[in-house]
Chain A
Amino acid sequence: MSLARKGRLITLIGLGLLALVYVRALAFTPVERLQGPAQKIYYLHVPAAIWAEMAMFLVGLAGIFYLFLKDPRLDRFAEASAEAGTVFASIVLTTGPIWGKPIWGTWWTWDARLTSTLFLFFLYIGYLLLRGAIDDASLRARYAAVLGICGMCLVPFIHLSVYLFRTLHPQPIVLKPSAPSLPGSMLVTLLVSFGVFTLLYVGFVMQRYALALEREEQERSAHA
């Protein structure tokens, strides 16, 4: 089975499981007392947010290894991961306002967390634009690696400024120093959803990687 087909299969399985996650979230997970049904979007929003950042981290990591090993596979992976990350950042930026409207009463507010996700999104766009602006493949890979590593290091700084800035956004309730403060059934739904998003990330990256391979093949035959 080709890589593209495998990626597509994994993505489809992920999407199917995501539907099941929502069956569980809607029918078998308790409704949050204060936020009501709006809170259900949490199971989409949070895993997407985690993967939007993880993808940037992996872009940076691939960049570090690329600079030393000069392996084009790492560059292809970085590109794929950046595009998947852009998709996840878009999911966060779409689901956030949908939740924000009933809960905060506004689609958008210049809260630090929203701003930081928006800037993560811009970071991805900038990274992809830089890739698009360089024709030479090895130069592109090298420059993209440098920018990717810087991007990876920027994310903690964005987070630090989030904690220092006053924020409207709910504080973390799972990934924090003390024990998670949400009921077990909600935590299970969240973790399952996180697993499904991991699958989706893998599926996206595999398909995108296969596309990069195909494009390189085409460029080679065009030159020959």
Chain B
Amino acid sequence: MGDWLRQAWTVARKDLLLEFRTRTAIVSAVVFTALVLTVFNFGRDPTAVATIDLAPTILWVTFTFAAMLAMNRAFQLELENDALEGLLASPLSRTSLYWGKLLANLVFVAVVEVVGLPLFVLFFDVPVAPVLLPLIAVIALATVGFVAVGTLFSALVIRTRFAELLLVVILLPFLLPPLIGAVQVTARLLGGRPLSESAGWLRLLAAYDIAFVTLATLLFPFTVDE
């Protein structure tokens, strides 16, 4: 068990180190998030639609798009110099490889969200301070679901034509349940409703995370082995 997690951490550390040294992907993703938030500002009539009504949508569409773009890099990175073959030949379990990629992607998306959330608050003047902790919990719950499925699917598409486009097309239907849940809970939180009112949605988000992390862990070996 411990060994398995250590291996996963080694993979994640490798990816994050690579990311930290080049910084191309993470900077692009952060700038992309800022740009989408800006675009949303011009996509509405501020005199007709109150920001608070649109806020959950803006937040979640931005995060969903940013997360989907981030997924592409996980395995694309390993295609250069056949690095994936090297990883598969190493004494690394397939489960650890998946979890390593999952962890690295989670950190990557979390960084984007950590920058994106204050920008969102700043740009749209949303009162998040009183609900900050539950909001972060909801973001975490939804992000785990997004990234678990996204990491698995990014391994599916790397050997296909138009990988980036295909990933988005097959991934988006899967992001629907966590997206609906996250938007509903966020709307209730920002509207000052108690968290208990969103219990059903929170259960849905948690069930989705458990189901798809398990499923992806079980299915991942089939995407890399011959």
Quick one: which of B156, B161, B172, B204 contacts A147, CB cutoff 8 A? B156
Say how far B111's CB is from chain A's closest CB, in angstroms: 27
Closest to A68 in B: B222
A123 within 8 A of B: yes
A-side contacts of B65, CB under 8 Å: none
Q: Is the CB of B200 within 8 A of A133?
A: no
Q: Is the CB of B160 within 8 A of A146?
A: no
B23 within 8 A of A: no
Closest to B174 in A: A154
Quick one: which of B149, B152, B153, B222 contacts A145, CB cutoff 8 A? B222
Say how far A151's CB is from chain B's closest CB, in angstroms: 8
> Size of chain B's interface in residues, with CB distance under 8 A?
32
Contact with A along B148-163 (1 / 0, CB 8 A): 0100110011011110
Say how far A1's CB is from chain B's closest CB, in angstroms: 37
Closest to A115 in B: B176
A109 within 8 A of B: no
Given A134-B160, A143-B156, A150-B149: A161 touches B169 (CB 8 Å cut-off): no
Given A126-B173, A153-B212: A161 touches B181 (CB 8 Å cut-off): yes
Interchain Cβ contacts under 8 Å between A and B, 18 examples: A67-B222, A116-B176, A119-B176, A122-B172, A122-B173, A127-B170, A130-B157, A139-B159, A146-B219, A146-B223, A147-B156, A149-B219, A150-B174, A154-B173, A161-B180, A161-B181, A164-B181, A165-B184
B108 within 8 A of A: no
Quick one: which of A122, A146, A164 contacts B222, CB cutoff 8 A? A146
Contact with B along A26-57 (1 / 0, CB 8 A): 00000000000000000000000000000000
Say how far A169's CB is from chain B's closest CB, in angstroms: 15
Say how far A185's CB is from chain B's closest CB, in angstroms: 37
Closest to B218 in A: A149
Given A161-B180, A164-B201: A146 touches B211 (CB 8 Å cut-off): no
B-binding residues in A (CB < 8 A): 67, 112, 115-116, 119-120, 122-123, 125-127, 129-130, 133-134, 139, 142-143, 145-147, 149-150, 153-154, 157-158, 160-161, 164-165
Contact with A along B14-49 (1 / 0, CB 8 A): 000000000000000000000000000000000000
Q: Is the CB of A150 within 8 A of B215?
A: yes
Q: Is the CB of A150 within 8 A of B176?
A: no
Given A157-B177, A161-B177, A164-B204: A150 touches B219 (CB 8 Å cut-off): yes
Q: Is the CB of B152 within 8 A of A133?
A: no
B135 within 8 A of A: no
A-side contacts of B216, CB under 8 Å: 150
B208 within 8 A of A: yes
Q: Is the CB of A160 within 8 A of B204?
A: yes
Q: Is the CB of B161 within 8 A of A133?
A: yes
Contact with A along B195-216 (1 / 0, CB 8 A): 0000011001001100110011
Contact with A along B163-175 (1 / 0, CB 8 A): 0001001101110
Say how far B8's CB is from chain A's closest CB, in angstroms: 20
Give Cα A123 to B176, complex, Å.
Answer: 11
Say how far A63's CB is from chain B's closest CB, in angstroms: 9
Q: Is the CB of A161 within 8 A of B215?
A: no
Closest to A144 in B: B156
Task: Given contacts A161-B176, A164-B200, list 11 more A-B pairs with CB under 8 A.
Answer: A122-B169, A126-B170, A126-B173, A130-B157, A133-B157, A157-B177, A157-B204, A157-B207, A158-B176, A160-B177, A165-B180
